[in-house]
A = this chain, B = another copy of it.
Amino acid sequence: MEHRVGYKIYYEDTDSLGVVYYANYLKYLERGRTEYVGARGRPIQLWNQDGYYFVVYELQMKFKRSAGLGDEIEVVSRFQRTSAYRGRFTQRIECRGEVLVEADVDIVCIDPQQRLREFPAL
């Protein structure tokens, strides 16, 4: 499943170089993962209430182009369990058909005591 969700760039997203501040792309990636999880039938806050926290332990990103004020971006996300305890989101951010950012985001699932727990079926 390839999941897409769109966002608009506001002042809060930009910095004094005139484009989106680099750390904010990680916010959009996280929004995309949250929406991905919700689209599988169960919103993230319910997972949290049940003691499932999805935590990033490693990521690789390429920044290819910048978005600016007023741009409409799209976060595209795919997910794959890589073991009983690990999963990888393969994500990209697009704007006007061009790729701005590519990311591989590796996550684990932990419980409220910060112990690894088996990945639920997402």
Taken together as a complex, chains A and B put the C-alpha atoms of A10 and B15 apart, in Å, by: 9
- Distance in angstroms between the alpha carbons of A14 and B14 in the assembled complex: 7
Interchain CB contact (< 8 A) of A16 among B18, B30, B56: B18
* Secondary structure of the A contact surface, majority rule: mixed
Contact with B along A52-78 (1 / 0, CB 8 A): 010111111111100011100000000
Is A82 in contact with chain B by the CB < 8 A criterion? Answer: no
A26 at the interface (CB under 8 A from B): yes
A residues 8-29 near B (Cβ < 8 Å) are 10-12, 14-19, 21-24, 26-27
Contact between A70 and B53, CB atoms less than 8 A apart: no
Contact check, B11 vs A56: say whether CB atoms are below 8 A apart.
no
